[in-house]
Structure 1
Amino acid sequence: MEHKYHLTRVSGNAKTGPIPVSTTSKSTCPEACPLKGNGCYAESGPIALHWNAVSEKGRGYDLDKFCSEIERLPRKQLWRYAQAGDLPGDAREINTGDLEKIVRANQGRNGFAYTHYPVDEPGNARAIAKANRDGFTVNLSANSLEHADELSRYKIAPVVCLLPEGTTKSLKTPQGRHVSVCPASIRDDVSCATCGICATQRRAIIGFPVHGSSKAKAQKVFMLKQV
């Protein structure tokens, strides 16, 4: 499956700060993501207009061109892969070859990503683990504190987690793992550009309080996992 990619060299998003961010077509979004059509922040607002343009192939470029754009970024540049979208794949399995191209293009740079691709699929787990070993940080996205415990047990990648609206203080998962609230979500003077923790290999889970116009739907996804 051919996807489209777009790189914004200087983001205008206050939460990311002025770093490069990419957008990947909707065809990359895994079927396993419960936020798909159900509270995903990227499906509304200004980012949705851009994502639609990329997804409909009127904006952006193919993977090889995208990788060449990444290779032009300065050494050690912090950048976010897929502010909307996910890793290249067929919505069930990650395309290992395509992900490896992105990882190679990132060499010497500091890219980070998040994924909802299921890691109980061995091929996905191997691809994600290798990307992290090779310097491209892929965070596993959990839908609840329980799910964060489940993903952490794989020990292949750092983990991030959905949190209820308004969460401002650190908390623990049911199995006692530490969850730190993303500082950019609770402080106006912090952004990805000044923080960068999601681009690191770490034990702490980073939590993101639900946000966006569909946050009520996203919060229901979190609460379902509490049952």
Structure 2
Amino acid sequence: MSWILLRRELLLALRRPMDALLPLGFFVVAASLFPLGVGPEPERLREMAPGVIWVCALLASLLSLHGLFEPDAQDGSLDQLLLPPHSAWRLAGVKALSHWLTHGLPLLVVAPLLALMFGLGGADLGLLLLTLLLGSPVLSLLGSLAAALTLGLRGGALLNLLIVLPLAVPVLIFGSGAVAAQQAGLQVAGHLSLLAALLLATAAGLPLATAAALRIAVQ
């Protein structure tokens, strides 16, 4: 059943390619503007690269949150997906996974190009990709919860931002801080461990919370 739901979400995403391309375009354009604004000094660009790429990835992932459950709610398919033998937590988990596959994973593909533009070396680039791999699914899980909480509300897109941004601060700190620590010659195992712990905690708990929010929203 999970594979059927995931296949459905991926097929719907293929039919709406602009939904994934717009956040990706924002990610590239926003990150590319920073060297123009702060100057071309290589050392300065290397120092700010982890924070810039992480902030842009966070904002890009938020652009598509309002469409996670809203289209299904409008056409009535959400009510059907929540009926037995379907389970709300499975739907919530699949929605978060499909969001990461269609919006988070493309950011990881493009991130090396932006990192090279900022002058990051091979080791720093590899660590940056590892932090994005651990942290970007957390953003999708947080976003699915926010989308469920604001389902059907006027101004839901803005409310999504207000909900997710404070919750995503630890991911942003540990993700960008790991690369900054490596650049300073410090240990990065603590940052990576905390990112992995956040991923495991959110993967275990947030689908259940999202499922409860979906049941409340459709009642």
Q: TM-score range by the shorter chain?
A: under 0.3
More helix by share: 2
Structure number, greater radius of gyration:
2
The two structures have a TM-score, normalised by structure 2, of: 0.25
Flag the structure with more relative contact order, 1 or 2, with Cα contacts below 8 A and sequence separation at least 6: 2
